[in-house]
Amino acid sequence: MKNIPLLFVTIDSLGPEVLKRARTPFLDSVAETGSTVKDMRSCFPTLTTPMMSTILTGVYPEKHGIFSNTILNREEKKVEGRLRDLRRPPVTDCLYENNYSILSIQHFMLQGRNGVKHVQVDGNRSGAIRKALRRELKEEKYDAIFCLYQSLDSAGHKYGPLHAKTIRELEEIDDELELVVDFLEETIGEFAIVITSDHSMSLADTPTEFDLGEVITSIGLKAELGKEGKSVSKETD
């Protein structure tokens, strides 16, 4: 049986709030003609790396083993990122076992997986994915293509989740997706498309005066903000 081609798209930080405000004719058409999941349940932690892992494995962090974007290596007292050690296989393992050739563009949790050609591009530029896709398909044919758009998340962190520039970024992604789909239809014909997101963003419109740092200090402990690749002070509790 011939493999059914697949385009698997993840849009980092795509949520209903920004989707309602943006002009997204392509995403709207996919929702109208395809199947949608309307009643989603939140899963903690709502962080990119754990949720990307959940999307690809179909299980919660307690099973796939990725609980955060970074972890503390207690022996070396150092913050580590680039977590890739999944305890459960991603969907690409199943595709590979069924003789799919697989391309990953920016979908970082697929880096190093069996049968996956992984390509990194500039995550802040949505058009970089289409350029990479064209380049890779000139070299080889792929049955399954996984793409991760991260520019919406970057804009949301920089300007806010509902800022005009954030909304515009989603509209640009929508335009890019339509171009990608048109290109693939010309290149490989019909294919299945899946569109997912790892988390949303919302306005901090109900702030509190709670300060975790003050609480830690009040009970006689010392804390610091860890960053990837940074060593942690021996005095830090």
65-74, 105-114, 160-169: least confidently modelled range = 65-74
CATH topology of domain 6-207: Alkaline Phosphatase, subunit A (3.40.720)
Long-range contacts at 201-205 (CB < 8 A, ≥ 24 apart)? 201/13, 201/15, 201/17, 201/18, 201/153, 201/156, 201/161, 202/15, 202/17, 202/161, 203/160, 203/161, 203/162
Q: Where are the domains of the chain?
A: 6-207
Tallying the residues shown for the chain, one arrives at 237
pLDDT tens for each residue of 159-190: 999 999 999 999 999 999 999 999 999 999 99
Question: For the segment 195-226, what is each residue's pLDDT rounded down to a tens digit?
Answer: 999 998 888 777 788 888 888 989 998 888 88
The kind and range of the H/E element at 28 are: helix 25-33
Cβ neighbours of residue 128 closer than 8 Å, sequence gap 6 or more:
121, 122
Residue 42 has pLDDT above 80, yes or no: no
Residue 206 contacts by C-beta under 8 Å, 6 or more apart in sequence? Answer: none
77 — pLDDT class (breaks 50, 70, 90)? confident
pTM of the model: 0.90
Give residue 204's identity as a one-letter amino acid code.
Answer: A
> Which pLDDT score is estimated for 172?
98
Q: What is the DSSP letter of 232?
A: P
| Cβ–Cβ under 8 Å, residues 180 and 42 | no
